[in-house]
Structure 1
Amino acid sequence: MTVARNPVIRGFAPDPSLIRVGEWYYVATSSFEWFPTIPLHRSRDLAHWEYAGHVRGAAPGGSLRGVPDSAGIWAPSLSWDGERFWVVYTIVRSVGTRYFDLDTYVSTATAVDGEWTAPRRVVSHGFDPALFHHEGRLWLLNMQSDHRPGGRRFAGIVLTELDRSTLRPLGDTHLLLQHDRLIEGPKLLIRDGWYYLILAEGGTGVEHGVRVARSRTLTGPYELDELPLLTTRDDPKVPLQKAGHAELVRTPSGEWFLSHLTARPLHTAHGIRCTLGRETAVQAVTWDSEGWPRLRQGGWHPAVEVEVPAAGAPTSGVPDGAGPPATPETVRASSEGLPTWPWSSPRAAPDASWVDTTTRPGWIRLRGRQGPESLWDQSVLAQRITEHRAEVEVTVEARPRTFGEAAGLTLRYNTASYLSLDLTWAEPEGEPQRGQQWRGEGRTVLSLLERDGDGARQVAVVEVEPGQPITLGASIDGEEARFWYLHDGLRTPVGPPLDFTHLSDDYGPRLRFTGTLAGIHAQDLVAAEFTADFSGFRLVCGAE
């Protein structure tokens, strides 16, 4: 046996959809407003996972420009029909309103790291869809939302048959289940003549959980299990919190395992703060004498360590072209020379109009565009932070001439929560901010900015020599982030320690759904011509 240590995919990897094809397990996770869209990972033992590509083209037109923070691509569901991989997912364009303004799409591929078909829109009752392949027929599961005043935003689970060729609905939509507690994220499986609905229950925060219902017929009625399959809502001391949004998979030897999202919180004076976002975990499952799934360790709390089957040799059940890809350490640029995984960018993939890796080999050149609070065209490349202790550094070379030009190192949750240490321009010391940069006077400075729910603040300003490469860094230790730069070979602090927990799912008036990333960025708010060169980016996340 092998021991899997949860989370098995760490740092901003929520809503896992788990399937098995031959000896390989595949997981798709939500990407929200970030590219690459719908990251895919694979494993042969459920414990050790590697990046396997992403669903290219999942955002029609290649853009999510303008979508709010934590909107975009929600809860993709992966499936395999014996010949092709299928993925169904929803693009949500409104958050915090009665209307989700969403569209649900389906795409297919013969290999997860191959070409995915152009997304086709299907009936869009709500988010968290799933496909159920059964006896040659195709069914779409979804939650439905009632936007009307007095209506329930989570108004039950519905099922619609789709034509396999046209993806148009066939016949009526069936209401499978309604429940007093919020339910979403439906998945279907068949076992011993029962149809089982695996449901996310209670929302995606600390009340999250997994509930199961079953029926002898596909279209119901469905009976709810009296007990949850998985939750931590009853014990805030369980190390893996927010456990929910699950899917069951069977191993080649007949054992059952559950994928689910979870979070590792920091316990602060203000409550829990999940700076790493929601992550992917696995649990072992057995079936009780009445035919209900139960966690192998008993109860409903997730285990940190889980015994899983050791990997076997690949079999002919593995689809052509689905062998192991390059590891994340070597997947740095696409064939076009553009940064790819583990790099991510908000609302659009990197393109040659603002990213250049060829002019200066070994460096990434960014052309500055809009500011860090834009929902449209930011020049940002970032990587997921996966542990509560981390260090990041990068060398930047740039010649900012105005206060609208800046480039540097950013720790970023979203447009309303970020920390950044930027090389930029400032007025001569002692001169007030009057926007007179065109006079040709001023200083090259490092500016430390903090943005949270109270707005943006300039925490510190340090004058530096213009036109020279400078190494910037940040050290993260639980609740604190400390910024620094190299001066005469020594780390020189910039400003005081900052509250890193503002960059978390739980900061602010409502839940947020992504995670914190560390990266590089550039902006030019006037001419959009300023460029900055970066080299030696290094993100090290320490084991806990």
Structure 2
Amino acid sequence: MTDMIRNPILPGFNPDPSICRVGDDYYIATSTFEWYPGVQIHHSRDLANWRLVTRPLTTESQLDMRGNPDSCGIWAPCLSYADGLFWLIYTDMKRYEGNFKDGHNYLVTAPSIEGPWSAPIYLNSSGFDPSLFHDEDGRKWLLNLQWDYRQREGGDRFGGILLQQYDAERCCLVGPVHNIFAGTEMKLTEGPHLYRHDGWYHLLVAEGGTGYDHAVTMARSREITGPYDVHPDNPVLTSRGDPENPLQRAGHADLVETPAGETWMVHLCGRPLPGTRRSPRGRETAIQKVEWGADGWLRLAQGGNTPALEVPMPGIEQRLPAEEEAHDFHLGTLPQVFQWLRTPQPERLFSLRDRPGYLRLFGRESVGSWFEQALVARRQDSLHCAAETMLEFEPEGLQQFAGLIAYYNRFKFHYLAVARNDSGDKVLSLISCCDEWPTGNLTTVDTGVVLRPGLPVRLGMDIREGELQFRYAHGGVDWQPVGPVLDASLLSDEGSGRAHGYFTGNFLGIAAHDISGRGTSADFAEFRYRRMVN
């Protein structure tokens, strides 16, 4: 037994956690942004060991993100259980940059976490981070922040937390809208959750923005509509004053109570590369033990308000993830670890049936397209890792290319691709975009490696903290490095020419692009992922 939970419990781009318990089963829902299917839900019996069980938003009626900009899509879902149903609230964000936010909030339900999940019920579009509170009297209440598009002093457009009753029989919001909490001096008040404890309504929100000033604020009231008094020791959780803490950006939290009556808080965090403020693994989910004090306020069990890397839990043994994953595509279904971008029509991007034992990608729009891009990838969850694939591909011209990619968004990627050069040779080409927002500078390098027609090629990449090296093997020749050592730290929220501003994490995967529109296919025989350090 390790008797400790080591954070994060959900490594590698699992932000904005919402947790609920059903009997002895715990579930955490996290944001997926532009990656399809929408919302990740993990399951645990002990709060330490978690397994991905479903991504419930799988149909066009539930979610269609074609055209959504980078870091839009699914923001901050809320998962709860009541009346024999799972209730999942989510935002589909359609615009991110600028003064306006076009985000639409929906509800789906299911009798089981595996589904079937209902058609969506539209709720409102007044702001993001919606959550559903099931009160003891049977009433249900929707909370979300109110977005204020006007330019105000200090630039804070987070216009308070809204509360409105939800009528489950009529499937709509009813009654007046109450603005119950304006936030504190930390501003940027978002991510609301409500709880009942000892006769009080406790409101938990995130503040300070999702960067390095992020924090958890709590307030309470005797009446659900307020007024709410702020916690005397606020913020309840933050890393803002602890730059050496390995868990930075701590905030956006939710609470769960165990059958034994203990209370735990799950929260967002980030683990930057040593000596930097760049986090290629994105925003992740951690957990802390919390306790209700004699004064009725909630505090960290270890004292203070900074997150702990290790949290005591007697009798627990936390299992490490497998060192290596190997996928050969013989099962006929896409392995659960993979996602694709935006579209509810994956059959236009890939097939596991056209050539059994292979994942066939159909080249679609350009790398970085917000509409239809044939890119299938998994999260990077380790600072030291490797990915490999074997590809059969015969490009017809310079507009077709396919290969192995490290992808954050349209401005930030490194791509080792099989392509054609001006002489008509099949070659390895290195395509990179080092984000200089908002323009982005694309570089394309012919590596000088000429490939033999009709033969497969093995492509690999090795990531060591902030460095990425591609490699290849072909025609009986063992692995050889190709191209220069690349900056892997750019593939992060913060690697964008500004302190932060994107919300996902680096993905490693395979891609095919055909900007001629002919849909030239590429066949991938396998994909391997190896962790060296978590």
1:331 and 1:37 mapped to 2: Cα distance? Answer: 22
Letter in 1 for 2:214: H
Shift, 1:232, TM fit: 0.2
AA matched with 2:190 = E
In structure 2, the partner of 1:469 is: 456
Structure 2 residue aligned with 1:267: 274
* Residue 368 (structure 1) shift: 0.6
Work out the CA distance in 2 between the residues paired with 1:331 and 1:526. Answer: 30
- The residue aligned with 1:522 is 512
**Match status 1:373 vs 2:373:** no
SS at match of 1:352: helix
SS at match of 1:74: strand
CA deviation vs aligned residue, 1:43-73 (integer Å, no higher than 9, x gap): 0000000011112347636420000000011
Counterparts in 2 of 1:374-523, with a 5 A limit? 374-428=369-423, 442-454=424-436, 455-461=441-447, 462-487=449-474, 488-508=476-496, 509=498, 510-523=500-513
Greater Cα offset, 287-296 or 198-207: 287-296
CA–CA distance in 1 between the matches of 2:239 and 2:60?
34
Contact map agreement 2:393 2:523 (CA 8 A) in 1: yes
Letter in structure 2 aligned against 1:414 = N
Q: Could you tell me whether the CA contact under 8 Å between 2:327 and 2:528 is conserved in 1? A: no
Residues 465, 343 of structure 1: CA spacing in aligned structure 2 closer, same or farther, 3 A cutoff? same
**Matched AA of 1:4:** I
Query: How big is each residue's C-alpha offset from its partner over 1:407-453, in whole Å with a ceiling of 9 and x where there is no partner?
Result: 1000000111000000010112xxxxxxxxxxxxx110000111122
Please name the residue that 1:214 is paired with: 220
Q: For residues 306 and 369 of structure 1, do their structure 2 counterparts lie closer, same or farther at Cα, with a shift above 3 Å needed?
A: same
Matched position secondary structure for 2:175 = strand
Question: 2:29 matched to which residue of 1?
Answer: 28
Residue 197 of structure 2 is matched in structure 1 by 191
CA contact (8 A) 1:273 1:504 kept: yes
Do 1:56 and 1:115's aligned partners in 2 also have CA atoms closer than 8 Å? no
1:64-463 correspondence runs (5 A)? 64-134=65-135, 135-150=137-152, 152-179=156-183, 180=185, 181-226=187-232, 227-268=234-275, 271-308=276-313, 337-349=332-344, 351-428=346-423, 442-454=424-436, 455-461=441-447, 462-463=449-450
Q: In structure 1, what is the equivalent of residue 320 of structure 2?
A: none
Q: Hey, what's the Cα distance between the residues in 2 that align with 1:202 and 1:529?
A: 45
Could you tell me whether the CA contact under 8 Å between 1:381 and 1:519 is conserved in 2? yes
- Counterparts of 1:309 and 1:81 in 2: how far apart (Å)? 30
Q: Secondary structure at the match of 1:284?
A: strand
CA 1:29–1:333 in structure 2 vs 1: closer, same or farther (change >3 Å)?
Answer: farther
The 1-side partners of 2:283 and 2:297 are apart by: 27
Cα distance, 1:542 vs structure 2: 2.2
Larger CA deviation: 301-310 vs 105-114: 301-310
Query: Could you tell me how far apart the structure 2 residues matched to 1:502 and 1:331 are?
Result: 27
Q: CA deviation at 1:145?
A: 1.1
SS in 1 for 2:290: strand
Task: Quote the Cα distance in structure 2 between the aligned partners of 1:304 and 1:272.
Answer: 18
Whole-angstrom CA distance in 2 between matches of 1:330 and 1:137: 48
- What is the TM-score normalised by the length of structure 2? 0.92
One-letter amino acid of the counterpart of residue 245, structure 2: V
Measure, in 2, the Cα distance between the counterparts of 1:332 and 1:91: 33
Q: Partners in 1 of 2:196 and 2:459 — Cα distance? A: 54
Matched residue count: 513
SS of equivalent to 1:144: strand
Structure 1 residues 329 and 485, CA gap change in structure 2 (3 angstroms)? closer
The AA in structure 2 aligned to 1:540 is R
Q: Residue by residue, what CA displacement relative to the aligned partner does 1:361-389 show, whole Å, maximum 9, x if unpaired? A: 22111111111021111001001110100
The CA deviation at 1:329 is 7.0
Using the TM superposition, give the Cα deviation of residue 297 of structure 1 relative to its aligned residue in structure 2, in angstroms. Answer: 1.0
- 2:444 maps to a residue whose letter is Q
Instruction: Please tell me the residue identity of whatever aligns with 1:391.
Output: A
Q: Distance in 1 between matches of 2:493 and 2:54?
A: 26
- 2:90·2:107 contact (CA, 8 Å) conserved in 1? yes
Q: Any conservation in 2 of the 1:331–1:342 contact (CA below 8 Å)?
A: no
Q: Which amino acid aligns with 2:526?
A: G
Q: Could you tell me how far 1:125 is from its partner in structure 2?
A: 1.8
Q: 1:264-288: per-residue Cα shift (whole Å, max 9, x none)?
A: 11134xx410000001111000122
Q: Quick one: distance in 2 between partners of 1:200 and 1:350?
A: 35
User: Contact 2:329 / 2:359 at 8 angstroms: preserved in 1?
Assistant: no
Secondary structure of the 1:382 match is strand
Q: Which runs of 5+ in 1 are unaligned?
A: 313-327, 429-441
Superposition TM-score, scaled by structure 1 size: 0.91
Checking the alignment, whether the CA contact within 8 Å between 1:70 and 1:512 is kept in structure 2 is yes
Secondary structure of the residue aligned to 1:267 is: coil
Q: 1:332 to 1:39 in 2, by over 3 A?
A: farther
Other-structure match for 2:321: none
Provide, for residues 195-250 of structure 1, a one-character-per-residue CA deviation record: whole Å limited to 9, x for no partner.
Answer: 10011011101000101000111111000113211100011110000011001111
Gaps of 5+ in 2: 318-323
Q: Which amino acid aligns with 1:161?
A: Q
* Residue type at the aligned position of 1:534: F
Which stretch shifts more, 150-159 or 81-90?
150-159
SS at match of 1:156: strand
**Given that residues 16 and 252 in structure 2 are in contact (C-alpha distance below 8 angstroms), is that contact kept between their aligned partners in structure 1?**
yes
1:166 Cα offset (Å): 2.4
Deviation of residue 161 (structure 1)? 0.4
Find the counterpart in structure 2 of residue 434 from structure 1: none
Task: Measure how far apart 1:466 and its partner are.
Answer: 1.9
Aligned partners of 2:210 and 2:250: how far apart in 1? 8
Q: Distance in 2 between matches of 1:354 and 1:164?
A: 38
Residue identity (%) = 41
Structure 1 residue 460, shift from structure 2 partner: 4.3
Contact residue 58 and residue 119 of structure 1 kept, 8 A: no
CA contact (8 A) 1:45 1:310 kept: no
What is the CA–CA distance in structure 1 between the aligned matches of 2:294 and 2:62, rounded to whole Å? 51
- The aligned residue for residue 47 of structure 1 is 48
Q: Secondary structure of the residue that 2:147 maps to in structure 1? A: coil
Query: What SS is found at the alignment partner of 2:489?
Result: helix
* Whole-angstrom CA distance in 2 between matches of 1:217 and 1:87: 25
- Between 202-211 and 519-528, the greater mean CA deviation after superposition: 519-528
Q: Secondary structure at the match of 1:526?
A: coil
